[in-house]
Structure formats: C-alpha cells, structure tokens
Amino acid sequence: MLNIFKIAVRNLMRYKRRTLLTASLVAIGVVFVLVFISVSGSFKNMMIGQITDSFLGHIQIHKKGYVASIDSLPLTMNLGQKAFEKVEKAINEIPDIEAYSKRIKFGGMFSNFVETTNVRLNGVYPEDEVKTVPLFLSRVKEGGKDIKPGEILVPELLAKGMKVKVGDTVVVIATNKDGSVNGKQFQVGGILESVTGPGGRDGYIHIEDAMEILRMDTMEISEIAIRLRDFDELHSAFDRLRDKLSNELNKQGGPAFEVHTWEKLSPFYNIARMIDIMTFFVKLMLIAIVLISIMNVMVMAVYERIREIGTIAAIGTLPGKIVAMFLIEGFSLGFFGVVIGNILGVAVISVLSVAKLTFNFGRQKGLLLSPSINLQDILVISIIVITISVIASLQPAYKASRMNPIDALRHV
C-alpha cells in the first residue's frame, strides 16, 4: 500500500506547478470555509449567548397557552402553588439543569407623578435570576447591581422617555386578576439596557413586591426560566423535561404545561438558522471546487499516461490495482490541499481572534467577536474534501482501468 502512495506522490510531483495550483485551489476553499464557519459560528454563539444569558434563559416553562398570549401578560394563566411544585419536581430530576428562576410577569402603569405610561414588569428572586441569566446584571447601566425589595430596574427607553434617574421615586399601578387596582411606590434602583427580543425591554422588581401589588396570598408564577449546565444538551434536556411534564393534565384533560427552548421564543433563531443555511451553501461550493479541480487534473493525468497505463496493464496489473493507483493519486492531491488549507485556515482564524473584531447587535455595541474553530469542524471539512477528491478521481480511474492495453500501448 505504502508503495502505491509513493508512486502516486511521484506522479503528482511530475507536474509540480499543476499539482501546486490545484492543491492551492483546494486549500483556498478550505481556508474560506474554515474562516466562514468560525466567524459566523462565533457570531451565532455570541448572539445566542446574549439572548439566553441576558434575559431569556435556555428553556422556559409556562402554563399551557401562555406564550401564545404573552403580549397581554395574562395573570389568569399563572401557575399556582401545586402546579409549580410539579414543575419543580421535574426540574430537580434533571441533573443537566444548573439553575432556574421563577418570574411573575405583569403589565401596569408607570408614573413619575407628572406623566404616566405602560410598563411590563417581571417580579423575580434576584439570586435565582442572576444564576439563570448570568449576563442580567451586566445590563444594569446605572445604579446598584441588584434588585432590592422596594426598588425597580427601569428599562432605558422608559427611563429616557419619562426622564427618571436612579434614586427617583416612581409609582407602579396594576390591576390584579380579580380586577382590583393597587399601586406601590418604588425607588429607581437602576437603568436596564435593552436587548433584542420579546421581554428585552421589561422592567424588574423583587418577586415579593410583585406579589404585594397583585395582592397574591400565595405565589402564582407566570414563567420559569431554566439554565442548563451544558448548552449542547439543550434538546435532550428539553425532551426529558417535556416528557416529564406532558403527563400532567389540566382539568379539561389537556396538557397543563408548555415547555419551550429559546429557539421557539426568540426571533433570532431564524437568523441562526440562516447562518446555518449559508454555512451549508459555502460547504457546497467547496465541494464543487474540489470536485471540478481534482477531476480536471485526474482526467489529464490519465490522458497523459495512456502508454504507461497500457504498459502496466500488459504486464499484468489487475484493473482494481489501476483504479487504486489513480484513486490514491486523487486522495493524495486532496490530502495535500487539506493540510495546507487547515494550516492557513487556523492561522487566519488566530489572526482574526487576535485582531479583536467587534460588531453591534441591536442596541448592544462593541460585542467582541472571538472566532475559533473546533477540531471536529476541521475534521469534518477535511474528511469531506478528501472524500470528494477520491470521488472526483473515480471516473478517470475507472476509465484507466478499462483501457485496452493494445490501444493504450499504440497511443502516442
């Protein structure tokens, strides 16, 4: 076997310039794909991270039907104590879950004693919220990095419009699910940066304050946000959670809960999908480049060596061996291109990550792009390119093996 490789490499070296050119073409394709994958991948991961870690969480659980009517933040669709205990039991049975946070979501009026406007609020336990969405506190632009009882974190657009500053006193008025109106004074504890996506412009208060405004005797939860230890386990954790909760039925006999991953909750998922589709097409282009360039070289290689093929066939080389010789030649050419491409690609990616590229996402400015590539991507690309190289050599190799030695030997 080793010696077929030696013959293949020697034959490739016979036309150094052509081999180098073709290998370079393959290498450039590989570099392009690797850089694209790493940059778009890091962009995607950064976005997903921003969305899930700053407010959404990885998975959310609601009462069945809540997400469909989330625009009106219906208090009638909260989970009572018993329902919540069932959810908590399911959560505790899944070790992949790192943290979870209960939220009471409601809409109300926000007044600075001069003007009044609408506000959407989340009542949360600050410690649980921070564990579940670790980037949350980084959104607090001004004021203390905490949600103390009696304080409110005001979304920045609202703060601007209502001209409130940290330390100001404001009033929140809300109607509870029985229809009675209640108000409570808060001190502005901080100004909260907006993020793209539903719920990205909500205010935050302590959960006990929310209960007080809404006159809840026992806690009723609108939403449970969940953070996983390992984001890659998203779908398996989701499946387990859904399976555990799907047995729970409401009084009408339908499912009591609904479980969603961030993908179903954020419009950014479609952008993430677009990136995946673009990556797929970039890979497809690489395949086309490799296929055409290697096939071209191998067709020429066979044509140039017709008499040699006639000679080796005449002295008894079996057709299968001749096929193998040309396949290995195509393999070696692809392999050569892949090695150069991987070295260059990793070099370019390292340069890009040292160069500290930044970009803006919605209202978030200067997010640092840190392109990186994992070994698995490199391996997958390499295997694809090498496989395509061999496939591209199949037809020429087969043609070589089927040559009639007499005709081939007579060829000039």
Partner 1 sequence: MSLVTADNLSKAYAKGELKVEALKNLNFEIEPASFVSFVGPSGSGKTTLLNLIGCLDKPTSGVLTVDDTDVSGLNTRMAAAFRGRKIGFIFQDFNLIPVLTVYENVGYPLLMVRNTPSPERKRRILTLLEAVGMAEKKNKYPDQISGGQKQRVAVARALVTNPKLVLADEPTANLDHKTAYMVIDIMKKMKNELGTTFIFSTHDQKIVGEAEIIYPLEDGELTKGRG
- 160 is an interface residue for partner 1 by CB under 8 A: no
Integer angstrom CA distances of residue 357 from 42, 43, 350, 367, 374: 11, 11, 12, 8, 19
Q: How far apart are CA 234 and CA 25, in angstroms?
A: 38
CB atoms within 10 A of CB 249: 12
Residues in region 317-346 near partner 1 by CB under 8 A:
317-319, 321
Q: Which stretch binds partner 1 (CB under 8 A): 82-90, 249-257, 309-317, 374-382?
A: 309-317
Q: Which stretch binds partner 1 (CB under 8 A): 90-98, 146-154, 377-385, 401-409?
A: 401-409
Q: Which residues contact 78 (CB under 8 A, 6 or more apart)?
A: 63, 104, 177, 220, 221, 222
The residue among 314 and 343 lying less far from partner 1, judged by its C-beta, is 314
The residue among 11 and 196 lying less far from partner 1, judged by its C-beta, is 11
Q: From the list 166, 297, 313, 390, which residue makes contact with partner 1 (rule: CB under 8 A)? A: 313
3-state secondary structure 19-42: HHHHHHHHHHHHHHHHHHHHHHHH
Q: Give least dist CB 312 to partner 1, A.
A: 7
Q: Which residues contact 62 (CB under 8 A, 6 or more apart)?
A: 77, 79, 222, 223, 224, 257, 258, 260
Q: Give least dist CB 395 to partner 1, A.
A: 19
Residues in region 6-65 near partner 1 by CB under 8 A:
7, 10-11, 13-14
- 315 is an interface residue for partner 1 by CB under 8 A: yes
C-beta separation of 203 from 271 below 8 A: no
The residue among 235 and 307 lying less far from partner 1, judged by its C-beta, is 307
DSSP-assigned states of every residue in 260-292: EEHHHH-THHHHHHHHHHHHHHHHHHHHHHHHH
Residue 92 burial by CB count (10 A; 0-12/13-18/19+): exposed, middle or buried? exposed
Q: From the list 295, 343, 406, 411, which residue makes contact with partner 1 (rule: CB under 8 A)? A: 406
Q: Give least dist CB 6 to partner 1, A.
A: 8
The residue among 4 and 282 lying less far from partner 1, judged by its C-beta, is 4
User: 367: part of which helix (H) or strand (E)?
Assistant: strand 364-369
Q: From the list 316, 354, 360, 375, which residue makes contact with partner 1 (rule: CB under 8 A)? A: 316
Q: Give least dist CB 39 to partner 1, A.
A: 42
Residue 187 pairs in a beta bridge with 151, 169
Q: From the list 296, 308, 346, 395, which residue makes contact with partner 1 (rule: CB under 8 A)? A: 308
CB atoms within 10 A of CB 178: 9
- 198 is an interface residue for partner 1 by CB under 8 A: no
Per rule CB under 8 A, count of chain residues that contact partner 1: 23
Q: Give least dist CB 13 to partner 1, A.
A: 8
The residue among 8 and 225 lying less far from partner 1, judged by its C-beta, is 8
The residue among 129 and 329 lying less far from partner 1, judged by its C-beta, is 329
- Spell out the long-range contacts of 12-17 with Cβ–Cβ below 8 A and sequence spacing 24 or more: 12/329, 12/332, 12/333, 12/336
Binding site for partner 1 (CB under 8 A): 3-4, 7, 10-11, 13-14, 307-308, 310-319, 321, 405-406, 409
